[in-house]
Structure 1
């Protein structure tokens, strides 16, 4: 597939691929959850650039949209609910470091050998007029109703989890009619009203 690309696209694939791998390694090297989250986001955005270089704009858009929102939500939840300040306290990001490094290195070697030694088939099928529509039908197909229900269920779970984790709301702070002159906060501070 690289032979079909222009020189700038090949350069972009190589540079962004290296950046993606470096950011992926950084996920396990940095010492906090927040830094690991943003390193993972950088890795996914580099993959988005690779997809654009391959003219896979729809997949690039979906990847960028999903990963950016997911990492932003993760960062917001870390800031709100983690015991240490915003997940910035040093902590170990890996468990069984030696075993996971051996498994990862072995998988990398096996995949690299497979990529360069397997005789890949050449596609003889012509591309459809609307590949985005074909991809959407192949991914979703008869599962559209289930995906809609799952999406609503996940959204309801996020809202319910946030409400259950927050002990005090605006009615607790400003009274049942929201007419209190000052909020009834257990810890003073915040913006003056």
Structure 2
């Protein structure tokens, strides 16, 4: 059952990824890309990589939502439903895509795959984190918190006025309350 679900999700991911280049609007392309990434995240969940699966799904859904907001704000066609083509240089893209596919398929089929040694770790996410970060995991967690604080501080410092300064004067609401 798990293999059938994995294969179904793989088909959804590939079909939705291909749909990004086949649909005729940015809005539909955004939804197709989101669906493709959700299917990939669900496959990671099936592989017992809960953290990576959830992070992939959450990150990609939020990224697509932000993309849709900027698309509505910035494009000449705010609804994003005007027919358009996502393909530029179709012939070159087709040749390049076919070449990359053949190379990757040949690598997957012709390279001898290593045999697993040992057993699957009890917590694959922790094992992957330790393999990637080693002893620096605590440092990276701290750096993440510091970067977040830096982003918040930069936004606060960049704001030239607060919510109480509607007309641009420093104490407009306080001044208007005192004047009445």
TM-score, normalising length from structure 1?
0.70
Q: Are the counterparts in 2 of residues 80 and 86 from structure 1 also a CA contact under 8 Å?
A: no
**Unaligned runs of at least 5 residues, structure 1:** 1-7, 165-169, 179-193
C-alpha deviations, 1:74-97, integer Å up to 9, x for none? Answer: 112212232212322222212211
* Equivalent residue for 2:119, pick from 114, 126, 134: 126
Q: Which residue of 2 aligns with 1:185?
A: none
Q: Distance in 1 between matches of 2:79 and 2:133?
A: 37
**Unaligned runs of at least 5 residues, structure 2:** 175-180
Q: Which residue of 1 aligns with 2:97?
A: 104
- 3-state SS of 1:24 partner: helix
Q: Which residue of 1 aligns with 2:166?
A: 171
- 3-state SS of 2:115 partner: coil
C-alpha deviations, 1:147-193, integer Å up to 9, x for none? Answer: 44555566778x69xx89xxxxx925xxx439xxxxxxxxxxxxxxx
User: In the superposition, relative to structure 1, how do residues 106 and 64 fare at CA in structure 2: closer, same or farther (>3 Å)?
Assistant: same
Q: Are the counterparts in 2 of residues 26 and 36 from structure 1 also a CA contact under 8 Å?
A: yes
TM-score, normalising length from structure 2?
0.74
